[in-house]
Copies of this chain bind each other. A is one copy, B any other.
Amino acid sequence: MRTRVTDMFGIELPIFAFSHCRDVVAAVSRAGGMGVLGALYFTPEELEMELKWIDDHVDGRPYGVDVVMPASYEGADFAAEELVGRLQSMIPDGHRAFVEDLLSRHGVPPLSSDADPGRVLLGWTDATARPQVEVALRHPIALLANALGPPPADVVDLAHARGVKVAALASTPRHALKQVEVGVDVVVAQGTEAGGHTGEISTMVLIPQVVDAVDVPVLAAGGIGNGRQMAAGMALGAEGVWTGSLWLTVEEADTPEMAKQRILAATSRDTVRSRSWTGKPARLLRNEWTEAWESEESPGTLPMPLQFMLVSDALRRIGRSDVSELATFPAGQVIGVTNQVRSTKDVVFGLVEEYAEALERLGRITGD
């Protein structure tokens, strides 16, 4: 397959795979696509180790890194050294009590001594994401992607100076135009059905509008889990596809076993767009956590990054407990399509094979 995107990166398949798991990233790149490591959960030191591992296992194939530099968030004008403290003081006691009460009611044990204040912000802010960018640019990455709107112009310039292409996720044509203005090389147009932070417009409706709005190549994201969906994304005008939820259940994924089983069993109705994770709307597995934040007792969610600061310890407590009904995580509607564990390589090749079959079938319909 050949598009501007395969030419840009020297890859065989215009398949981009977002994953927090280095094994998946390396396996997709080795299979001819492009793995993109989500840096969010890693400290700069950890990210350094992950990228070193990928460098050693990717057989010289290109790969990318995805960071989160939101265009707007609370505390954007605070000095870095006082950022966490000032933000913590902005979280109302009533919200803390709601979270504590929710966990008590479900019998989630408290964390022992290992609350980790260094992780309450993650890479949700410019201040915490920039060190990740610096680490990433010391590695031979081919792509730097930003998950929440246009990256800062100086970060784009820095990447370009190192020969690294820049991508950004857009959920409206207007977002896409802003991204191109700051110099983004590839727009990832992401429909509402996608997992994680997402807008309201569906992939089917969004992609042609973004393709018509910008001159750079567009990747279709949201709802791409099989080869027919890949063919549909390309038919809409995209020059490649950006996938995510698909990789949560592959053999190589380090997804916790409980989560893997829930994804395999889930239908496409088992996700919900919710602010309960980060304060911005993100599609998550629907469960008693997301329902609680929609209930009458809910104090409402806080703006980014306060909501995640409020809930980060709670999510870690839940993750270490066996209270599965509260364990939520980003997941797209496409989890209704993934119902077996396969190797990353098999999934990549399966996409391509089904893509080819879909095109053959289209040819038969028109008699070509």
Cβ contacts under 8 Å, A193 to chain B: 201-202, 204-205
Cβ contacts under 8 Å, A43 to chain B: none
Question: Is A76 an interface position by the 8 A CB rule?
Answer: no
Partner of A3, one of B202, B209, B232, B365: B365
Partner of A336, one of B201, B226, B232, B269: B201
Question: Is A358 an interface position by the 8 A CB rule?
Answer: yes
User: Would you mind naming 21 contact pairs between A and B with Cβ atoms under 8 Å apart?
Assistant: A2-B367, A173-B267, A191-B204, A192-B192, A193-B202, A193-B205, A199-B269, A201-B268, A201-B269, A201-B336, A204-B204, A204-B222, A204-B223, A205-B223, A205-B229, A205-B268, A205-B332, A208-B229, A228-B237, A234-B362, A235-B235
Question: Is A79 an interface position by the 8 A CB rule?
Answer: no
- CB-nearest residue of chain B relative to A211? B228
Question: Is A315 an interface position by the 8 A CB rule?
Answer: no
Cβ contacts under 8 Å, A199 to chain B: 269
- Residues of A236-266 at the interface with B, using a CB-CB cut-off of 8 Å, are 236-237, 239
Cβ contacts under 8 Å, A231 to chain B: 232, 235-236, 362
By the criterion CB–CB under 8 Å, are B228 and A208 in contact?
A: yes
A260 → B minimal CB distance (Å): 20
With contacts A209-B336, A362-B235, A366-B1 taken as known, whether A202 is within 8 angstroms of B202 at the C-beta atoms is yes
By the criterion CB–CB under 8 Å, are B362 and A366 in contact?
A: no
Supply 5 further A-B pairs (C-beta < 8 A) apart from A193-B201, A236-B358.
A202-B223, A204-B233, A209-B336, A237-B361, A239-B365
- CB-nearest residue of chain B relative to A224? B204
Name A's B-contacting residues (CB within 8 A). 1-3, 172-173, 191-193, 199-209, 222-226, 228-229, 231-237, 239, 267-269, 332-334, 336-337, 356, 358-359, 361-363, 365-368
Partner of A209, one of B208, B268, B367: B268
- CB-nearest residue of chain B relative to A2? B365
- Alpha-carbon distance A172/B268, docked complex (angstroms): 8
Cβ contacts under 8 Å, A362 to chain B: 231, 234-235, 359, 362
- CB-nearest residue of chain B relative to A335? B205
Give 7 closest A-B pairs by Cβ, nearest first.
A204-B223, A232-B232, A193-B202, A231-B235, A205-B333, A232-B235, A205-B223
A57 → B minimal CB distance (Å): 29
